[in-house]
Structure 1
Amino acid sequence: MGKMEQRTLFQIGFFLLFAVATISAVPRDCTAIKRSNRRATSGIYVIQPQRSPPLVVNCVMRGNSSWTVIQRGSRLSKITWKESWTTYKYGFGDVLGDFWLGNEYIYLLTKQNRYKLRIEFRDTGNRVKYAEYSSFFIEPEGGKYTIRLGTFSGNVVDQMTRLLRNSLIDNQPFSTKDRDNDSLRGSCAASRGGWWFDACGCAYLNRKYPYWSGINIKKVTMMIQPTC
């Protein structure tokens, strides 16, 4: 990536950080925003999870529910996704387009409450599909940002918790091109981008052409919501 592309997603809404500097209580996630303002609509907001700096995030508001977006990718992405451990740790991309929020911030977000994960796909036929997991959190950096998932539901084949040899994503540590934590002799992340790999498997969404076996993905969004 060039220097301009290396700037994190937080620069896009950087001016908002100054706007909240005088506010005593910043919402901890998008759900807190919706609870305090039922008329809040989807868009860019500032949140501050416990022990985190303020974050500029994309919120998806639907009726009385709300979701905090942690990833967005597409076939036409300008991001290479083949970034270092540190870049994945703090996030990169364009919060208005394709981005990764950052492992450290995803960890801090999911540490403060119980969350579920929803992954929405728009395929090349413009159909919307989804995979949802009843619980979701990742371990801290000392635990290699290992992913923990709950029960699956959705209208696609489960590719994250299904017990398929060399393909289980649940309970796998995160890998990047410079920190290989997968079980393959080679490096899955070197060619597929940072992700939770076993031996590469049937789903990896942080790449120019997001992959989930059985879907021809045009766009994908990963978002979380508290369950209590």
Structure 2
Amino acid sequence: MNSVTELEEGPQHKAQRRSCSYLLCTILLFIAVLLALTVTGTILLMNHSHAPSGPDAPPLITTNQDEGNALVTVERGDGSRINIFIEPNCPDYNSNFLRLEGVQTSLLHSLSHHDTDLKSVKGQERGLLVQLAEEIAKLSAHVNQLKMEYSALRQGQSSISQEISMLQTEQARLIQLMSETQTNIMKVVNSLRDMLDSVHKDAGSERGLLKADLLQRAPERSGVRPRGCARGDGSQPRDCSDIYASGQREDGIYSVFPIHFPSGFQVYCDMSTDGGGWTVFQRREDGSVNFFRDWAAYREGFGKITGEHWLGLKRIHALTIQANYELRIDLEDFENSTSFAQYGSFSVGLFSVDPDEDAYPLSIADYSGTAGDSLLKHNGMKFTTKDKDNDHSENNCASFYHGAWWYRNCHMSNLNGQYLRGQHSSYADGIEWSSWTGWQYSLKFTEMKIRPTCEEN
């Protein structure tokens, strides 16, 4: 505590000692100036008297302004001089006082300006504080509003969560109900399919028997061979079987003259497969021909007989109504594997008065072969193209699967589909035979051909 007091009093003692020194120097300076004035006055008075010249003459006292520090010069009669100087070590405190007063005045001005600036800053700060308070009030109100909205959202979210939970429960119940319903529907559908297949098989058999009966009853009127293969009477061949029976064994193009197509037309005859005598009416082998065509094209036929082609529905009809025909379908995939499907009874528009109006319905039965059956479920169906929808689907199966066929709803086979060259990502729109390669594999080669069934009497 004493040390602090000494530290605080030290500057005051120093200032007092300094003031005393200033006062003492001032007094001494005043005495020296007074003495100098007295001496000067005395000398001047003596100079005015007529003193004798020479060494014995009284000294002459003058002020010397040339000397930097000399105040008075005393010149003796013999010419010597005595200079009286001011003590140089005594500082000029008056100028220091003036400088201090100037500094004090400058400090007072600076303090005054600082005070003015401080008042201005305080005013600005007050304004900013007022604005800040207003902004805080607004933010507080906004926060309160957000809290209220958040509370409302929480309540709404809770309500929505409850509703979602109820909906999920209801959805689970509906899914279970739909699953049970779907199972029941599938059972009914399968039962109906079995019934329809049975009906179609019976109908196909009955149609075949009826057709055979009709042919047997009126052979002379129609010129139709009852159930044999070879005519052997030298007349015009009605199909490739007649040409084979006449001794031809080379595969190639021949002209045939069906009973109901007396002008005849050219066909490709397969004379080597399974005993020969096959009349080809469809071939796919390289994708060079577009098979996504309209009704008129499929009725009249298109393509090149030696390559990809469709013989035409009206020609197939003319061939298959003149006898009981069997169908063979040869298949090949892009791994060069081969297979076939054969049907003992095949016809197009067999009982149609106007086959074009009836859309050339398919009659087929009695499957055998290695490829599996993918055609019996199309039995009884009319032919569908992209511009003539005769299937049982809500959509046009030909447009949907890019082909033309005896579609039902929609197909098990699609041999007139797109040439997609093997495995493909799209579904069932290639050259499909589902029982052999599935729904997403487009075959490399297909050939559909017919010949009359041969039965020995």
TM-score range, shorter chain: 0.7 to 0.9
2:292–2:418 CA contact under 8 A, matched in 1: no
Match of 2:444 among 215, 218, 225: 218
State the distance in 1 between where 2:368 and 2:340 align.
8
Q: Do structure 1's residue 227 and structure 2's residue 453 form an aligned pair?
A: yes
Aligned residue for 2:305, secondary structure, equals coil
Q: Do structure 1's residue 156 and structure 2's residue 367 form an aligned pair?
A: no
Q: Do structure 1's residue 77 and structure 2's residue 287 form an aligned pair?
A: yes
Match of 2:362 among 108, 133, 147: 147
Q: Higher strand fraction: Structure 1 or Structure 2?
A: 1
Match of 1:171 among 380, 384, 387: 380
Which deviations, in whole Å up to 9, do the C-alpha atoms of 1:14-72 show, x marking residues without a partner? xxxxxxxxxx94310000001111x4311111111112132111000027531000100
Task: Tell me the equivalent position of 1:17.
Answer: none
Aligned residue for 1:193, secondary structure, equals coil
Task: Tell me the equivalent position of 1:50.
Answer: 259
Q: Would the alpha carbon gap of residues 64 and 134 (structure 1) be closer, same or farther in structure 2, given more than 3 Å must change?
A: closer
State the distance in 2 between where 1:84 and 1:64 align.
35
Bigger Rg over Cα:
2
Q: Do structure 1's residue 90 and structure 2's residue 300 form an aligned pair?
A: yes
Match of 1:193 among 403, 408, 412: 403
1:194 to partner: Cα distance = 1.4
Task: Tell me the equivalent position of 2:335.
Answer: 125
Question: Across the two proteins, how many residue pairs are aligned to each other?
Answer: 197
Task: Tell me the equivalent position of 1:10.
Answer: none
Moved more, 61-70 or 92-101: 61-70
1:118 to partner: Cα distance = 0.3
State the distance in 2 between where 1:134 and 1:194 align.
23
Aligned residue for 2:244, secondary structure, equals helix
Structure 2 residue identity aligned to 1:112: Q
State the distance in 1 between where 2:307 and 2:432 align.
18
Aligned residue for 1:196, secondary structure, equals coil
1:72–1:219 CA contact under 8 A, matched in 2: yes
Structure 2 residue identity aligned to 1:158: D
Aligned residue for 1:34, secondary structure, equals helix
Give the superposed CA RMSD: 1.6
1:192–1:204 CA contact under 8 A, matched in 2: no
Question: Quick one: higher RCO (CA 8 Å, sep 6+), 1 or 2?
Answer: 1
State the distance in 1 between where 2:318 and 2:411 align.
27
1:48–1:55 CA contact under 8 A, matched in 2: yes
Aligned residue for 2:398, secondary structure, equals helix
1:100 to partner: Cα distance = 0.4
Aligned residue for 2:417, secondary structure, equals coil
What fraction of aligned residue pairs are identical, expressed as a percent?
36
Aligned residue for 2:284, secondary structure, equals strand
State the distance in 1 between where 2:264 and 2:235 align.
11
State the distance in 2 between where 1:117 and 1:109 align.
12
Which deviations, in whole Å up to 9, do the C-alpha atoms of 1:141-168 show, x marking residues without a partner? 232100000110011121111xxxxxx2
State the distance in 2 between where 1:72 and 1:184 align.
27
Task: Tell me the equivalent position of 1:202.
Answer: 412
Q: Would the alpha carbon gap of residues 154 and 141 (structure 1) be closer, same or farther in structure 2, given more than 3 Å must change?
A: same
State the distance in 1 between where 2:346 and 2:407 align.
16
Q: Do structure 1's residue 67 and structure 2's residue 282 form an aligned pair?
A: no
Which deviations, in whole Å up to 9, do the C-alpha atoms of 1:111-167 show, x marking residues without a partner? 111100000001111122000000000112232100000110011121111xxxxxx
1:34–1:64 CA contact under 8 A, matched in 2: no
Task: Tell me the equivalent position of 1:11.
Answer: none
Moved more, 105-114 or 59-68: 59-68
Q: TM-score, normalised to structure 2's length? A: 0.42
Gaps of 5+ in 1: 1-23, 162-167
Task: Tell me the equivalent position of 2:190.
Answer: none
Aligned residue for 2:271, secondary structure, equals strand
Structure 2 residue identity aligned to 1:178: D
